């Protein structure tokens, strides 16, 4: 920090002045603290300074020059003697509102009486109409109430009327546990949105295991969307405590069924959900035991301890005395006998709730170039929309290929500081480590990589400025590369995707025209590994190179790309049906891009990063919903990256919790 040449602290009547001059040639910095200001402290730190303290006509100077230690300077304002005055308009309005409210309470000049449960509350039509669209319509329409001196309000409680009318007249009301719901009801009924919001805010802050179920039901009834969302979330996050509440025991069977069926329920064990159901049934066993079999079918018995099933569930009379329940128990026990791990059967009782799933779905990203060449490896977890750091690659690279294969992620080829690469590295996402493996026979960049039948394929790309038609196959078990049949066309920057076959889609190839030596392709060819042959397939509708693609249940999705050397990029996307051999357009990206990463996770397609054009990159993540045919921006990557490579993985919870978040 810069040194100060002069610091002045003084009291001048009712004004405190603190002035600082950092250097002689800089203007004076002056902070003025008025006597009416709130109590405050201002602190400044400088390595060396000159301090001058003045008080009235007596002057004392203490100089500490070049002390080479930080000087701490504190200016303390005089304590507030009286509150800050309001403007005359604010004061007038406040006084007016309070005066009108006093008139209401005393019945002065009132011209309408509100009747609630035979109790009368005088008021003024003009004030009611000004604050409520309901009253405005009531008093200005042709309804009979327009001429009546009394209006009966149905559904209101007398004890809340003074709070309600106080808010209408002054904009202020004390909201408590006793009146909060009644005020929300009043705001909804009378169309006073500000009152309704104040009440819902109070209810949100007051959520507890003992009231959250009734608050959720209330929010549904009166269309309080945010309150409903927060109460639902509170119930799921605190299910065990909620299940011990009186409100839970009073729920209907359909409400219990809906709640225990939810994948997002947060519990430490499935046994806790079972015990909650048992408690609910036994609270009124004669009426509820007939619902037990249906409720038991909604539990994830297959994710419970087999010892708990044998010791407690099997011996529960509600289970042993019901044939349907014993069949469910048998099916759960069978899952342990047939499978080494839980949750493998497709039956609902053997599925694992998200909170109990031992693995976290993530997207491992191996960076391309951002502002500089990087070796960064990171992972994105869509379920929490959060990024985490992983171990870096051994060699920084871009324009490389990457794919998950046989429990590892491989990155191959590309460009580094020392030129083009033939090397390949393997990432173990169980141990968070990288290791070198067998390199390719030659340096290749801009290649497409995919996995098929347990082998890794490196397809096309660039070598010394020329596109390739060569295809290499790597065997992870033996760490050996071999050449297979070449493609029918050379392709630099192809999109390579595998389903039952290997598909090489688009890319950039050589052109016979000397003035335009390269051209972009919309052609597609398919590799059959059994026959070791390539065959042409139906071409895309648009020429694309450096597009990204993914296969999902027999459909190949090809996203973005470029056809003009990245002067621009595509936002359009196409889907290829492998059974019908046909292409169709799907929804376009929100942001056009080429050289992006892509991954399919939990039923959604994610596209990350990429380049809009030669000058611009994007850091946005988009997610595609196949059912709705729509893309949405859902997050961003830590850096704007083009050439990013992605692989979906399933991380253990223990490993996931050991990772460092990227903020």
Q: How confident is the model at residue 35 (pLDDT cuts 50, 70, 90)?
A: very low
Q: Is the pLDDT of residue 349 over 60?
A: yes
d(CA 263, CA 302): 14
The pLDDT of residue 337: 53
Is residue 513 within 8 A of residue 498, CB to CB? The reply is: no
Distance between CA atoms of residues 395 and 416, nearest Å: 7
Beta-strand relationship, 51-55 and 6-12: parallel
pTM: 0.53
Average the pLDDT over each of 15-19, 220-224, 553-557 and give the range with the smallest value: 15-19
Q: Which helix (H) or strand (E) holds 139?
A: helix 133-140
DSSP calls for 525-587:
EEEETTTTEEEEEPPPSS--BS-EEEEETTEEEEE--BSSTTSS----EEEEETTTTEEEEEP
Confidence of residue 640 (pLDDT cuts 50, 70, 90): low
Considering the chain, what percentage of its residues have pLDDT values greater than 70? 82
pLDDT 10s digits, 415-433: 998 889 999 999 998 889 9
C-alpha 73/C-alpha 64 separation (Å) is: 13
Task: For the chain, give the percent of residues with pLDDT over 90.
Answer: 64
Displacement of CA 446 from its chain's centroid (Å): 32
| Whole-number Å distance between alpha carbons of 261 and 232 | 14
pLDDT exceeds cutoff 50 at 344: no
Arithmetic mean of pLDDT, 542-557: 96
- Of 107-116, 372-381, 589-598, 608-617, give the lowest mean pLDDT range: 372-381
Please say if the pLDDT value at position 79 is more than 50.
Answer: no
Q: Return the exposure string of 371-394: e unless at least 16 CB atoms fall within 10 Å of the residue's CB, then b.
A: eeebbbbbbbbbeeeebbebeebe
């Amino acid at each position: 920090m810069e040194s100060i040449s002069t610091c002045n602290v003084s009291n001048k009547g009712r004004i405190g002045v603190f002035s600082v001059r950092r250097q002689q040639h800089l203007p004076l910095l002056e902070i003025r603290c008025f006597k009416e200001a709130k109590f405050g402290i201002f602190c400044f730190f400088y390595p060396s300074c000159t301090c001058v303290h003045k008080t009235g006509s007596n002057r004392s100077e203490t100089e500490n020059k070049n002390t080479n230690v930080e000087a701490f300077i504190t200016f303390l304002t005089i304590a507030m003697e009286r509150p800050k005055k309001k403007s005359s308009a604010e004061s007038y309005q406040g006084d007016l509102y309070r005066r009108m409210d006093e008139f209401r309470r005393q019945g002065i000049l009132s011209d309408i009486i509100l009747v609630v449960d035979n109790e009368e509350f005088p008021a003024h039509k003009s004030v009611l109409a000004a604050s409520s669209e309901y009253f405005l319509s009531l008093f200005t329409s042709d309804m009979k109430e327009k001429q009546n001196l009394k209006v009966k309000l149905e559904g209101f409680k007398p004890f809340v009327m003074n709070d309600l009318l106080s808010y209408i007249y002054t904009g202020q009301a004390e909201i408590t546990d006793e009146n909060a719901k009644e005020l929300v009801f009043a705001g909804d009924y009378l169309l006073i949105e500000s009152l309704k919001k104040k009440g819902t805010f109070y209810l949100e802050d007051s959520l507890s295991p003992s009231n959250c179920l009734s608050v959720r039901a209330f929010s549904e009834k009166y269309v309080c969307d945010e309150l409903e969302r927060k109460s639902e979330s509170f119930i799921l996050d605190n299910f065990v405590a909620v299940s011990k509440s009186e409100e839970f025991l009073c729920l209907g069977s359909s409400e219990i069924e809906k709640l225990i069926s939810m994948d997002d329920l947060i519990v430490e064990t499935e046994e806790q959900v079972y015990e909650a159901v048992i408690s609910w049934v036994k609270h009124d066993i004669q009426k509820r035991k007939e619902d037990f079999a249906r409720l038991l079918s909604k539990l994830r018995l297959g994710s419970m301890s087999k010892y708990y099933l044998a010791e407690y569930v099997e011996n529960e009379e509600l289970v042993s005395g019901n044939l349907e329940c014993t069949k469910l128990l048998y099916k759960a026990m069978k899952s342990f006998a047939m499978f080494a791990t839980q949750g493998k059967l497709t039956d609902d009782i053997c599925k694992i709730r998200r909170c109990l799933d031992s693995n976290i779905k993530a997207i491992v990203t191996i960076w391309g170039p951002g502002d500089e060449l990087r070796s960064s490896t990171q992972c994105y977890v869509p379920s929490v929309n959060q990024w985490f750091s992983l171990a870096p690659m051994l060699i920084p690279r871009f324009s490389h290929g990457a794919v998950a294969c046989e429990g590892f992620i491989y990155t191959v080829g590309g460009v580094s500081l020392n030129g083009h690469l033939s090397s390949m590295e393997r990432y173990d996402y169980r141990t968070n480590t990288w290791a070198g493996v067998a390199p390719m026979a030659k340096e290749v960049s801009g290649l497409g990589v995919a996995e098929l039948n347990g082998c890794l394929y490196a397809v096309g790309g660039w070598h010394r400025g020329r596109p390739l038609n060569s295809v290499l196959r790597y065997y992870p078990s033996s760490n050996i590369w071999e050449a297979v049949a070449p493609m029918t066309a050379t392709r630099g920057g192809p999109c390579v995707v595998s389903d039952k076959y290997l598909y090489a889609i688009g890319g950039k190839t050589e052109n016979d025209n000397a003035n335009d030596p390269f051209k972009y392709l919309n052609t597609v060819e398919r590799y059959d590994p059994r026959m070791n042959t390539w065959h042409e397939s139906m071409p895309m509708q648009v020429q694309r190179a450096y597009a990204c693609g993914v296969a999902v249940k027999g459909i190949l999705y090809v996203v973005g790309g470029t056809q003009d050397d990245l002067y621009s990029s595509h936002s359009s996307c196409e889907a290829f049906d492998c059974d019908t051999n046909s292409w169709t357009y799907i929804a376009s990206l929100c942001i056009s891009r080429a050289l992006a990463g892509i991954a399919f996770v939990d039923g959604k397609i994610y596209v990350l990063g990429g380049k809009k054009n030669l000058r611009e990159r994007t850091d946005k993540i988009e997610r595609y919903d196949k059912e709705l045919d729509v893309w949405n921006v859902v997050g961003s990557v830590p850096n704007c990256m083009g050439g990013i490579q992605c692989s979906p993985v399933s991380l253990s919870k223990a490993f996931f919790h050991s990772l460092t978040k990227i903020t």
